[in-house]
Amino acid sequence: MIEIEKLSVRFGRTEAVKGVSFSVARGDSFGVVGESGSGKSSVLRALAGLNPDWTGRMSVDGTALAARRPREFHRRVQMVFQDPYGSLHPRQTVDRLLSEPLLVHRMDNIERRILRGLNEVGLTTAMRFRYPHQLSGGQRQRVAIARALMSEPDVLLLDEPTSALDVSVQAEVLNLLSDLQQARNLTYILVSHNLAVVAHLCARIGVMQAGELVELLSADELRAGRTRHPHTAALRELSIELEEPEPS
Amino acid sequence: MLVEVRNLRIRFPTATGLSEAVRNVALTLGQEKLGIVGESGSGKSLTARSILRLLPSNAVLTADKLEFDGIDVLGADEPALRHIRGARAGLILQDPKFSLNPVMTAGAQIAEAWRAHRGGSRRLARRAAVDLLAQVQIRDPQHVAQAYPHELSGGMGQRVMIAMMLAPDPELLIADEPTSALDATVQADILRLIEDLVSRRGMGLILISHDLPLVSHFCDRVVVMYAGRVLEELAAVDLIRARHPYTRGLLECLPTLSHKKPRLAVMQRDPSWLES
């Protein structure tokens, strides 16, 4: 579904992403982990078309991507951002937020699609005419996911979708993302610094460090500690050490 | 006791009367490390900040007892509070990007804190600043002292913040989500640094966080808050044996690397938790 080959992203003189290659099959989830500044978000943003300054080859469903993307690309590939406080227009109601992608992509049955969209992410119709500031963080992220799904995409790009949320809300959103993936056969690319979150949602994982993809492995290999690169091993060890309550 | 709090209530005026954000909270703290854990809106930050009386101006604060080292914080006037704030109790906030002055060098900010609380010459304060930067394990303190906050990474910025808080040699450190804006590796380094400084200087620590397992690694005791109330208080080592369904829920809803969970447990909130 998604092929990325020797992708490099530059910001002025700095090379943020250095020749990253991976592919994701339809209906799969691919996770990208790394520390801040490792270039993991830059990969996602270049793929989404938010950063035109890249070299290499990227294709979605067999179609090679150019710097400028056609409208159909943006219908099929949608993104969910980290901060639901920043990614929803504060002066627009949920109804308006959800209908905008439908208008942009000239879709029909707006009324039915909005009701279905709300229902799909577990929001009641009472939320439909609220403003973002009247919603909790978890409800906002649900709206952001519903909005991304409005145009019936095949691919969701998830940039730290739960790191601004409470752990209890994080669990609900992660469950929602698994359910949606099954129901719609979506392809996910999930970027996160949280190894446990990535391993929970994604079967295959890429580890980035200083702009390079240093290791590709399965979630099971990561869990079992069958890592090959020292950076992966270090990230894993720290994550395991801190995720369990202090043993007595 | 360094801190003693009994029946703390913090209320905010709303259109329909006073809404209670913190109710009936009791806390004591000696020379130890106390974690306050809860979700957003649980009142954990308000509770800790009430010790410094650093609350939004419309907050209505009442308590049967609110003492810092025997000083009645509730009845104290501004000059008395200034002797506590910063001087005897330091506060470290989440994101150094917003808590450091962007147009002063790191060294100048630490020197300013030093002089404000201890007096002395500029040169002495500068030297003290470099020394403090070395104490927070910055490898090249001379260089960092001359850097502006935007030239520093998040972890480095937080070290500068800690150095500034240590300048007046306080007895209590309140760290409000000090590492939520940082990477996991840096997070562990910063918390280890705080733990080490607190133990070495014999200070009290209040560590506020939403991350229950993390807190248990760096604290002696953990207070779990929910909707403005303390639901459970336990020794950090007993956390795996926590009784309260809310505490259990917070632990069980986490995805983990060591155990594969096909589906994450979702917290079922019981209205009876609000009846204490």
Whether the CB of B251 is below 8 Å from some CB of chain A: the reply is yes
Disruptive mutation site among B226, B257, B267 for chain A (greatest number of A CBs within 10 Å): B257
CA distances (Å), origin B6, targets A103, A106, B9, B73, B230: 57, 61, 9, 12, 12
Do the domain assignments include residue B53? yes
Q: How far is CA B129 from the centre of its chain?
A: 22
Indicate the CATH number for domain A2-223. 3.40.50.300
Q: Are the beta carbons of B240 and A137 separated by less than 8 Å?
A: no
Whether the CB of A221 is below 8 Å from some CB of chain B: the reply is no
Contact list, B261 vs chain A (CB under 8 Å): 200
Radius of gyration of chain A (CA): 18
Whether the CB of A64 is below 8 Å from some CB of chain B: the reply is no
pLDDT at B276 over 80: no
CB B219 within 8 A of CB A229: no
The per-residue pLDDT for range B42-51, each reduced to its tens digit, is 999 999 999 9
Whether the CB of A181 is below 8 Å from some CB of chain B: the reply is no
Domain definitions of chain A by residue range:
2-223
Q: Which of B214, B260, B265 has the CB atom closest to A242's CB atom?
A: B214
Contact list, B249 vs chain A (CB under 8 Å): 168
Task: Report the percentage of chain B scoring pLDDT > 90.
Answer: 66
Q: Are the beta carbons of B184 and A239 separated by less than 8 Å?
A: yes
Whether the CB of B82 is below 8 Å from some CB of chain A: the reply is no
Whether the CB of B256 is below 8 Å from some CB of chain A: the reply is yes
pLDDT score for A247: 56
Do the domain assignments include residue B78? yes
C-alpha–C-alpha distance, residues B171 and B203, integer Å: 5
Whether the CB of A21 is below 8 Å from some CB of chain B: the reply is no
Question: Chain B: nearest CA to A220, how far in angstroms?
Answer: 9
Q: Are the beta carbons of A242 and B188 separated by less than 8 Å?
A: yes
Of the candidates B228, B225, B221, B220, the one whose C-alpha atom is nearest the C-alpha of residue B199 is B220
Angle between helices A167-184 and A137-150 (to 10 degrees): 20
Contact list, B185 vs chain A (CB under 8 Å): 35, 234-235, 238
Instruction: At B24, list the tokens.
Output: 């009936």
Whether the CB of A240 is below 8 Å from some CB of chain B: the reply is yes
C-alpha–C-alpha distance, residues B90 and B182, integer Å: 20
Q: Which of B213, B255, B264 has the CB atom closest to A245's CB atom?
A: B213
Question: Chain B: nearest CA to A248, how far in angstroms?
Answer: 5
Question: Chain A: nearest CA to B177, how far in angstroms?
Answer: 13
Average pLDDT (B162-176) is: 93
Do the domain assignments include residue B243? yes
Q: Hey, what's the torsion of the CAs at B35, B155, A198, A114, to 10 degrees?
A: 90
pLDDT band at B262 (very low <50, low <70, confident <90, very high): confident
CATH code of the domain covering residue B63: 3.40.50.300
Average pLDDT (A179-199) is: 93
Q: Are the beta carbons of B188 and A238 separated by less than 8 Å?
A: yes
Q: Are the beta carbons of B240 and A248 separated by less than 8 Å?
A: yes
Which residues span the domain enclosing B254?
1-88+204-276
Average pLDDT (A88-108) is: 93
The per-residue pLDDT for range A50-79, each reduced to its tens digit, is 988 899 999 999 999 988 889 999 999 999
DSSP-assigned letters across all residues of chain A: -EEEEEEEEEETTEEEEEEEEEEE-TT-EEEEE--TTSSHHHHHHHHHTS---EEEEEEETTEEP-SS--HHHHHHEEEE-S-TTTSS-TTS-HHHHHHHHHHHTT-S-HHHHHHHHHHHTT--GGGTT--GGGS-HHHHHHHHHHHHHHT--SEEEEESTTTTS-HHHHHHHHHHHHHHHHHHT-EEEEEES-HHHHHHH-SEEEEEETTEEEEEEEHHHHHHT---SHHHHHHHHHHHHHHSPPP-
Disruptive mutation site among A166, A207, A236 for chain B (greatest number of B CBs within 10 Å): A166
Q: Are the beta carbons of B217 and A178 separated by less than 8 Å?
A: no
Do the domain assignments include residue B167? no
Contact list, A248 vs chain B (CB under 8 Å): 237-238, 240
The per-residue pLDDT for range B75-126, each reduced to its tens digit, is 999 999 999 998 999 999 888 888 999 999 999 999 999 999 888 899 999 9
The per-residue pLDDT for range B210-238, each reduced to its tens digit, is 888 888 889 999 999 999 999 999 999 88
In chain A, whose CA is at the least distance from the CA of B255?
A: A196
pLDDT score for A167: 87
In chain A, whose CA is at the least distance from the CA of B154?
A: A36
pTM comes to 0.86
Average pLDDT (A97-123) is: 92
Q: How many domains does chain B have?
A: 1
C-alpha–C-alpha distance, residues B51 and B36, integer Å: 14
In chain A, whose CA is at the least distance from the CA of B239?
A: A245
pLDDT at A18 over 90: yes
Contact list, A222 vs chain B (CB under 8 Å): 257
